[in-house]
C-alpha cells in the first residue's frame, strides 16, 4: 500500500540523521515516497504575502532573503542526493523550497494536508530558553495544531530499530498502533514492545466498548476488547491490530510496569535504559478530557534525545 511522507527540513545539519532514520525504515520499500520541503523566511509585509505566488514573491524580496532562499535550495538538493545515495529510487524522492507565506509551521501543515500525506516528519532543533520565550519552535507549533495528522519528531542520532508503544484501553492508543502497523508493513527489522504503565498517577482509563465501534466494528470489538485471563487486557487489541497488519507475532513483545510516579517518567526511563529508538504515542483530541495522557507526549518529547517520537491524534 502506498505511503506518502512529507519531510520538513531546515538549514541545519540534522538532515543527515533524519536521512539515516528514514532510510532504515524505507530504503527497500518501493511503495513509500518522500517529499522534502523547506520553508524559507520571507520578511515581506504580511498583508501582501497571501495573494502573491512564489515567482512574484521572488521578485520583491531583498538580497539577503534571496541568498537565504538559494542556500536552502542548495541544502535541499544535497539532502535529496543523500537519500538517493542511501538507496532510494529518484522517482520516490522529490524536493522543493518555498518562501514563507503565513508562517513556517502553518505553511508546513498546509502542504501536509493539501498533499494528503500519511506522515509529517521533522527534526527537533535544540533552541535556547530565550528563543523558546520569544518565538517558541516550529516543532512545538506544529504539534499544537496537528490533530488530524501523525507527526514524527526526530531528536538526534537514532540507531535502534526497537519501538516502544504505550497502550491503554483508549481509542487514541489503538489509533497509534494502527498507524504503526500501516507504516511498518514489510519492515524486516523492527521490534515492537507494547508498554502499559501502572505508575502511581497513571490510573485506569477503560473506554466503553461502544466508542470503538465506529472505526473497528462491533464484532471486532466484541472479540478483541475483552479482558484476558492474565489481566493484560491492555495488550490484546493492540497485538491483534499489528497481526492483522501483517507484522509477525514473534517481534511483538509486552512490558508492564508499576514503578514510578507517572507514565511519562517511565516511558523516558525505558527508552534511556532499554535501547528503544522510537516511541509511538496516541494523543487525545483537544475537545476530549486528556486524563492519563494529558501532557505525557509533551513531557516525553522534552526529556529524550537520540530517539524518534511519533505522535498520532
CATH class held by domain 162-312: alpha beta
Dist CA 73 CA 155 (whole Å): 23
Q: How far is CA 208 from the centre of its chain?
A: 27
16-59 per-position pLDDT tens digit: 888 889 998 998 888 999 999 998 887 655 555 555 666 667 77
Note the pLDDT of residue 179. Answer: 95
What's the confidence (pLDDT) of residue 281?
92
Output 209 or 277, whichever has higher pLDDT. Answer: 277
Q: What is the pLDDT of residues 103-148, one digit of tens each?
A: 888 889 989 989 989 999 988 754 444 334 333 467 778 877 766 7
Binned at pLDDT 50, 70 and 90, residue 225 comes out as confident
pLDDT band at 151 (very low <50, low <70, confident <90, very high): very high
Q: pLDDT-derived band of residue 149, with 50, 70 and 90 as boundaries?
A: confident
Give the architecture-level CATH label for domain 3-154.
3-Layer(aba) Sandwich (3.40)
CA atoms within 13 A on the CB side of 42: 30
Per-residue model confidence as pLDDT tens digits over 92-108: 999 999 888 788 888 89
pLDDT greater than 80 at residue 218: yes
Task: Tell me whether the CATH fold assigned to 3-154 matches the one assigned to 162-312.
Answer: yes
Residue 257: burial class (beta carbons within 10 Å; 0-12, 13-18, 19+)? middle
Q: In a 3-state reduction of DSSP, which class is residue 261? A: coil
Place 163 in a pLDDT band, splitting at 50, 70 and 90. Answer: very high
pLDDT, the chain, mean: 81
pTM of the model: 0.86
In what helix (H) or strand (E) does residue 100 lie, and over which residues does it extend?
A: none
Residue 287 reports pLDDT greater than 80: no
Residue 127: its pLDDT value, please?
42
**What are the extents of the domains in the chain?**
3-154, 162-312
**What sign results for the dihedral spanned by CA atoms 207, 290, 172, 258?**
negative
Please tell me the distance from the alpha carbon of residue 50 to that of residue 95, in angstroms, as a whole number.
22
Amino acid at each position: 500500500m502506498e505511503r506518502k511522507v512529507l519531510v520538513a527540513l531546515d538549514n541545519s545539519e540534522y538532515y543527515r540523521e533524519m536521512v539515516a532514520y528514514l532510510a532504515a525504515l524505507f530504503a527497500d520499500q518501493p511503495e513509500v515516497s518522500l517529499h522534502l520541503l523547506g520553508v524559507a523566511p520571507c520578511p515581506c509585509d504580511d498583508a501582501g504575502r497571501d495573494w502573491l505566488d512564489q515567482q512574484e514573491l521572488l521578485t520583491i524580496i531583498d538580497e539577503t532573503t534571496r541568498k537565504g532562499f538559494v542556500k536552502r535550495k542548495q541544502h535541499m538538493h544535497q539532502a535529496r542526493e543523500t537519500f538517493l545515495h542511501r538507496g532510494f529510487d529518484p522517482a520516490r524522492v522529490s524536493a522543493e523550497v518555498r518562501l514563507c507565506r503565513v508562517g513556517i509551521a502553518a505553511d508546513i501543515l498546509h502542504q501536509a494536508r493539501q498533499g494528503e500525506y500519511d506522515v509529517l516528519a521533522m527534526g527537533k532543533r535544540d533552541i535556547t530558553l530565550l528563543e523558546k520565550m520569544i518565538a517558541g519552535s516550529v516543532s512545538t507549533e506544529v504539534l499544537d495544531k496537528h490533530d488530524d495528522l501523525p507527526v514524527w519528531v526526530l531528536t538526534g542520532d537514532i540507531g535502534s530499530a526497537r519501538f516502544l508503544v504505550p497502550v491503554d484501553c483508549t481509542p487514541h492508543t489503538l489509533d497509534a498502533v494502527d498507524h504503526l502497523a500501516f507504516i511498518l508493513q514489510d519492515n524486516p527489522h523492527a521490534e515492537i514492545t507494547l508498554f502499559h504503565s501502572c505508575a502511581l498517577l497513571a490510573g485506569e482509563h477503560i473506554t466503553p466498548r461502544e466508542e470503538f465501534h465506529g472505526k473497528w466494528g462491533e464484532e471486532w470489538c466484541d472479540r478483541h476488547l475483552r479482558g484476558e485471563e492474565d489481566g493484560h487486557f491492555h495488550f490484546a487489541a493492540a497485538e491483534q491490530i499489528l497481526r492483522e497488519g501483517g507484522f509477525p507475532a514473534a517481534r511483538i513483545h509486552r512490558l508492564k510496569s508499576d514503578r514510578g510516579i507517572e507514565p511519562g517518567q517511565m516511558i523516558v526511563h525505558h527508552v534511556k535504559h532499554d535501547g528503544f529508538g522510537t516511541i509511538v504515542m496516541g494523543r487525545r483530541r483537544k475537545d476530549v478530557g486528556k486524563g492519563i495522557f494529558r501532557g505525557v507526549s509533551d513531557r516525553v518529547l522534552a526529556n529524550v534525545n537520540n530517539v524518534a517520537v511519533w505522535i498520532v491524534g
